[in-house]
Amino acid sequence: MKKVFCEKVHYDYTYFSDEKEKTIKALKGVDLEINEGEFVSILGINGSGKSTLAKHLNGLYKPLRGVVYIDGINTSQDETIFEVRKYCGMIFQNPDNQIIGTIVEDDIAFGLENLGIKPSEIIKRINKSLEEVEMLEYKDKQPSMLSGGQKQRVSIAGVLAMEPKCIVFDEPTAMLDPVGRKKIMEIIKKLKDKGITIVLITHFMEEAIESDRIIVMNDGEVEMRGTPVEIFTQVEKIKSIGLEVPLCTEIAYKLKKRGITIKEDILTIEEMVGELCR
């Protein structure tokens, strides 16, 4: 079932320079379909339109032209935007911009209180969501005392407490160290296993290979779409867009160019070791 559907989506940014109004065409007729429970990564260089597209998926932005449907709801209709955001939660790059409570559990309770959830149910959801991101022991802590990775996990808990069916992650690991990135990806994979639809905007190719499908954005348009293997084995095309491929794919590509017989569809260290040791 198609739960995220974009058709011919256009979006422009307008700004003033030298006292003249200028326009940047951020999205140029984007078509996108994501199935219920699917894990899709969206890649692209800075300015490609991937984050602009992400903000359309829970109604933060409305298309200039075209249409976005989330669970069958048109995101351009003001009267149903609340339902769109209940269905689709969003995690941003900087966790400090998402946390407003002075105590972790208060921060998670904020959204639930605005929904009019009963206090007894709020407590259950706080504990459940913090447990899912392995932060339950920190519920009485001040967010300012937490690491960047821990703050991001609190942000995820805040969204999980709202019980969304889809979560859009807009470069959630960009400001984290490798340990923090690994923990966030573990959580994302657990959520996918529970049937939550995942949309991940990322610059890290090693994160994208975990997804079911990859969308590559370039200059406001969808340049490529396919499975991680289908995308990353097109090494020359990926590089021409300004992106990299996973390290192991790069090694396999260079070995093959040297005449060494090796599979083209290597994405992980485990696959590389297995191929070299056969």
Structural domains present in the chain: 2-228 (3.40.50.300)
* pLDDT tens digit sequence for 119-176: 999 999 999 999 999 999 999 999 999 999 999 999 999 999 999 999 999 999 999 9
Q: Residue 261's pLDDT band (boundaries 50, 70, 90)?
A: confident
On the question of pLDDT at 1 being above 80, the answer is no
* pLDDT tens digit sequence for 216-249: 999 999 999 999 999 999 999 999 999 999 988 8
DSSP code of residue 170: E
- Characterize 148-187 residue by residue with b for buried, 16 or more Cβ atoms within 10 angstroms of its Cβ, and e for exposed: ebbbbbbbbbbbbbbbbbbbbbbbbbebbeeebbebbbeb
Per mean pLDDT, which range of 25-34, 140-149, 201-210, 267-276 is the poorest?
Answer: 267-276
* pLDDT tens digit sequence for 37-86: 999 999 999 999 999 999 999 999 999 999 999 999 999 999 999 899 88
Q: What is the pTM of this model?
A: 0.92
Give me the pLDDT at residue 269, please.
81
CB 150 within 8 A of CB 125: no
Q: Residue 268's pLDDT band (boundaries 50, 70, 90)?
A: confident
Give me the pLDDT at residue 2, please.
62
